Amino acid sequence: MKLLVLRGDGIGPEIVSAALVATEALNRKLDLGLTYEDADFGLASIEKNGDAVPQETLDKARASDGIICGPHDSVAYPPPHDQVVTPAGRLRKAFDLYANIRPARIRPGVPAHVDKMDLVVCRENTEGFYADRSMFAGNGEFMPTPDMALSIRKITREGSARIAETAFQLARQRRCKVTVMHKGNVLTLTDGLFRETAFDVATRYPDVTVDDVLADALFALAVRRPQDFDVILTTNLYGDFLSDLTAELAGGLGVGGSINAGTDVCAAQAAHGSAPDIMGQNVANPAAMILSVAMLLDWLGGRHERADLKEAALCLDAALDAQLADAAGRTRDLGGSLATDAFAEALAERIAQT
């Protein structure tokens, strides 16, 4: 099974390398048969190829079983690269990665802002208010006059149904509860369609409890009673905001794993950015990237009916929990002193010994 490695910008190469050290320890321990191939991506690719995501990279991604994708710093890209779809967006469009899955869970030893939380934000990833996701051609934001800016939001029954299916299937693997987050009381057509479609899908999952909460209320409840939620199903913009909030409540984006998944392709990509201010210093926390790879392995295990990959995902997650529970085993952002590479080596040793 081949994984394509896109190292990205800023701290991307450092945290991706750390994730590969841990993944390779699993590969050896469980004889998973994983192989890796690098491809050009991001600023280095612009300098080399004149394109952040050249066609060769897309071709390699299409021929791979999964993608490990480091963060990118598209805000620093020179013209005209700063005016086009971001590198992650290029992957999303090329492979229709419609499901952005972001768990938030309290982990032993990680300073958190709440006492109990174990939830997953299941975010629709191809529609909504985001300007690059609303149109077949052109942009969803435009200015009819210099003093007026408009934005078009797209919600479709098909897009809503497939992310709802993902959420209900995920809930069956957890605590069998889905909460639909929307603002249908004011956005009656768009959020109304999303809610209606979600409840239509719910009829096919009688074993899963479903309710719905207005978006503003859910933000408050996520702070006050996050333990009440299991899988939160929502649209693009709400999910983007909420998943950052829940990750921060659980200890920060540094422990926020994330995948972007479609029907046939899945990319592991930590929710945080490229942190150019600490690039090259070997101090970045690779936990979120490692958790994202664990999620990718779990997705691949389900996709290919391979119990060993699902076991590998559980093993990696448990080893990371044990690593973070040890004060001496953390990076400096979590109160420890380990460098990025030292964290990865310690985790790999822990995996080998369990």
Residues with a known catalytic role? 130, 183, 216, 240, 244
From the centroid of its chain, how far is CA 53?
A: 19
From the centroid of its chain, how far is CA 111?
A: 21
**Euclidean distance between CA atoms 144 and 153, whole angstroms:** 17
Q: Which residues contact 9 (CB under 8 A, 6 or more apart)?
A: 42, 43, 44, 70, 71, 72, 73, 76, 274, 276, 279
DSSP letters along 82-149, please? GGS--HHHHHHHHHT--EEEEEEE--TTS--SSS--EEEEEEE-SSBT-GGGS-SSS-SEEEEETTEE
Count Cβ atoms below 10 Å from residue 258 Cβ, excluding itself.
25
Q: Which residues contact 282 (CB under 8 A, 6 or more apart)?
A: 14, 339, 340, 341
70 neighbors 12 (Cβ within 8 angstroms) = yes
